[in-house]
Amino acid sequence: MNSKNYFVYILASKRNGTLYVGVTNDLLRRVYEHKSGEIEGFTKKYKINNLVWYEEGGDINAAIYREKQLKKWNRKWKLRIIEEFNPGWEDLYINLISGSPPSRG
- Residue 102 predicted with pLDDT over 70: no
CA 14 to CA 35: how far, in whole Å?
13
Check which CATH number belongs to the domain holding 87 and give it: 3.40.1440.10
What is the distance between the alpha carbons of residues 6 and 15, in angstroms, rounded to a whole number?
25
User: Which ranges of the chain would DSSP assign to H, the alpha helix?
Assistant: 27-36, 42-45, 60-72, 75-85, 92-98
Q: Based on the structure, what is the number of domains in the chain?
A: 1
* Nearest partner of 57 among 66, 46, 70, judged by Cα: 66
Q: Is residue 104 one of the residues assigned to a domain?
A: no
CA distance 90 to 102: 8
Q: Are 30 and 24 in contact (CB under 8 A)?
A: yes
Say how far apart CA 65 and CA 89 lie, in whole Å: 25
Question: The domain containing residue 37 runs over which residues?
Answer: 6-98
Please tell me the number of Cα atoms within 13 Å of 103 on its side-chain side.
6
pLDDT tens, position by position, 16-26: 999 999 999 99
Instruction: Tell me the per-residue pLDDT of 26-61, one tens digit each, with 9 for 90 and over.
Output: 999 999 999 999 999 999 999 999 999 999 999 999
